[in-house]
Amino acid sequence: MELLQHLGLERRPEWLPEQVVLLGVPLLLASVMVAAARLTAAIIKGAARWLRVAWGCRGVPAAPGGGLLGLGHTLQLALAPCPWEKMLEWARASGTLTRFNILQRTGLIVNDPEGAKRVFQTRQRLYEKDLDFSYKPFLSILGTGLVTADGPHWQKQRLLMAPALRIDMLDAIIPITKNAVDRLCKNLESFRGTGTPVNMEEEFRLLTLQIIGEAILSLPPDECDRVFPQLYLPVMEESNRRVLEPWRQLYPLTAYQYNQRVSQLNKYIISIIRARRAAHAANSGKPPAKPDILDRVLAAAEESGEKWTAASEVQLCYEIKTFLLAGHETSAAMLCWTMYELSQSKEALEKVRAEAAGVFGGKRKSMPSREEVDGMEYTLATLKESLRKYSVVPVVTRNLVQEDELLGHKLPRGSWLIVHLQGIHHQYNDPLAWRPERYMPGGEYDQFDESIRPYMFLPFIQGPRNCLGQYFALLENRVLLSVLNQQFTFTPVNPKESGVTHPKVIPVAPLHGMKMYVS
C-alpha cells in the first residue's frame, strides 16, 4: 500500500473509470474499425476472386442442374450419398473438364489422363495443394509436414525426407513386415476354424500402424499398441469426421480432448527425437547398426550443415506425424480390398499362393531378399488392381496460381481443381470387374498410349509431388498378402456387405468393416 501511495496509485479508483472511457473507447472503436476494414477487404477480395473465376471458367461445360436459389450445386452435393461419386456422375455427363458451383465457389472436375498429366507433371508448379478443403482438419496435426507444405519449404523438406525411404530402408521393410505379420498370424491361430469372425479391417489398421511405427521410430509392437490407440487414433478419427462436419471443432469438450491429445502426442514424439539426438551425439554422430527413418533424417539434417533449432524439432515432429498418417490407413485399405477380392476369386488366390510358396515357402528360415519380393509380379498386380477398382484416394484437389490452359480451356488464376483419380481409373474396360491381369505384362495397362499410360494409374498420383511411400506400401503389402494367404483361408461373413465402400471417408475403406472367418 505504501508503495502504491509512493507511486501515486492509491488514487486509482478515482481516476481509473474516466481514463478508461477516454482511452478505452477510442481504442475499442479503432479496433472495431480495423476489424471491419479487414473483413470488408476479405469480402471484396473473395468476391473479386469469385467473379474472376466464375467469369473465366464460363466456357467450361457445367454439371447438370445447379441453378437452384443461387446455391449452385451445393444441395445436390450435400444430399448425395457420396460426394465424389456425384462429381463423377457430373463429369460423365459433361466431358473431360466439368464446372460446378458450391455456394459461390467454382470447382472444375478433371476426368482425363491428359488433364492429370498437366496438373501433376508438365505444369505442376502452377497447381498448388488446396489446403482449405480436404486437409484443413488435419493442419493442426500435420502442420507444415510434407503432405501439407508448398513452395520452397516443401521442396527443401522433400529433399531432406526422400533419401530416408531409399533402397536400404526398403530392404529393412521386409523383416519389419514379416515379423509384424507373423505376430498377427499367431493371434489369428486362436480363431482358426472356431466360427468366430475377426474384423480384419481393424487388424490391418493396427498391423500397418505397427509397421510404420517400427520403420520410422523403431517402436516395439507393444509400445505401438499402448500409445497409438490412446493418442493418435482418436485424433485421426476426429480429424476425419471434421472434413464433412467442420462444426465439430466448436464442441467444447471434443475440442478440449482433441487439443490435449495432440499436445500429448507432440510431447511423446519430441521426447523420442531428443533422446535420439542425444544418442547420436554420444556416438559421435555415427548411425546405429539398424537405422530407422528418424535416424536417416537426422543424419541427413546433420549433413546439410543447417543449424538445429527449436523450429527444426517442431518440423521433424510434423514430418513424423505425416508419415504415420500417410503410411498406414491407405496401406490398410489396399490390403483390405485385396484380401476381400482374393476371398472371391479362387483362381487369383491360387496364383498368389503359388508366388508366395516360391518366396516364403518350404522350410525356409532366412528372410527373402528385396529382389525376390520384387519378383512377385502377380501379387503386385492384385494390389494395383485393388488400387484401381477401389481408388482408396478417389480425388486430389489443387488451386491454380497462374492462368493456364487445360484440356482446351483457358482457366483463370484461383481456379479450384478436383482431379478425379477414380474417374480415370474407371476408364478401363469393364471397370468394376477386378482383374489383376490388367497389370501383367502385355495386359490392358500396357495397351494405353505411352504418352498417357502413367496417368491411367494414379493411386499415388505422378510427378514431383507423387507419394513418397509408394514403394514402401507395395513392398510391405506383397509380404503381408503372401504370408496371410499362405497360412490361412479368409471367408467374409457377409460378402455382399463387406464389399460396400465407405461413401464419405478417405482413404476409402469398407463401410461395415471386414468381418471374416479364418480357417
Residues tagged in the binding site annotation: 467
| Shorter beta-carbon distance to ligand HEM: residue 406 or 518 | 406
Residue 376 CB, nearest approach to ligand HEM (Å): 16
Q: Which residue is nearest to ligand HEM (CB)?
A: 469
Pairing type for strands 395-400 and 416-420 reads antiparallel
| Shorter beta-carbon distance to ligand HEM: residue 396 or 516 | 396
Cell of 294: 528418424
| Shorter beta-carbon distance to ligand HEM: residue 110 or 392 | 392
Q: How many CB atoms lie within 10 A of CB 40?
A: 10
| Shorter beta-carbon distance to ligand HEM: residue 454 or 469 | 469
Q: How far apart are CA 406 and CA 289, in angstroms?
A: 50
Residue 433 CB, nearest approach to ligand HEM (Å): 21
Residues near ligand HEM (CB under 6 A): 146-147, 158, 322-323, 326-327, 330-331, 334, 392-393, 396, 459-461, 465, 467-469, 472-473
Residue 166 CB, nearest approach to ligand HEM (Å): 12
Question: DSSP alpha helices (H): ranges in 218-309?
Answer: 221-227, 233-244, 252-282, 293-304
Q: How far apart are CA 414 and CA 398, in angstroms?
A: 10
Nearest to 401 by CA among 10, 74, 127, 3: 127
Residue 473 CB, nearest approach to ligand HEM (Å): 4
| Cα–Cα–Cα angle for 469, 474, 477, rounded to 5 degrees | 120
8 Å CB contact between 226 and 265:
no
| Shorter beta-carbon distance to ligand HEM: residue 411 or 474 | 474
User: What one-character-per-residue DSSP string does 233-248 give?
Assistant: HHHHHHHHHHHH-GGG
| Shorter beta-carbon distance to ligand HEM: residue 257 or 312 | 312
- In DSSP terms, 405 is beta-bridged to 410
Residue 299 CB, nearest approach to ligand HEM (Å): 18
In whole angstroms, how far apart are CA 274 and each of 107, 210, 312?
44, 22, 12
User: What one-character-per-residue DSSP string does 379-396 give?
Assistant: HHHHHHHHHHHH-SS-EE
Cell of 473: 506400401
Q: How many CB atoms lie within 10 A of CB 103?
A: 10
| Shorter beta-carbon distance to ligand HEM: residue 393 or 518 | 393
Per the annotation, binding residues for heme are 467
| Shorter beta-carbon distance to ligand HEM: residue 11 or 290 | 290
Residue 107 CB, nearest approach to ligand HEM (Å): 16
Q: Which run of H or E residues covers position 406?
A: strand 404-406
- The string over 230-262, giving b where at least 16 C-beta atoms fall within 10 Å of a residue's C-beta and e elsewhere, is ebbbebbebbbebbeeeebbeeeeeeeebeebb
Q: How far apart are CA 94 and CA 92, in angstroms?
A: 6
Residue 455 CB, nearest approach to ligand HEM (Å): 13
Nearest to 360 by CA among 474, 490, 485: 485
Cα 358 to the center of its chain, rounded Å: 34
| Shorter beta-carbon distance to ligand HEM: residue 452 or 467 | 467
Residue 135 CB, nearest approach to ligand HEM (Å): 8
Measured in residues, the chain has a length of 519
Residue 214 CB, nearest approach to ligand HEM (Å): 12
Q: How far apart are CA 241 and CA 233, in angstroms?
A: 12
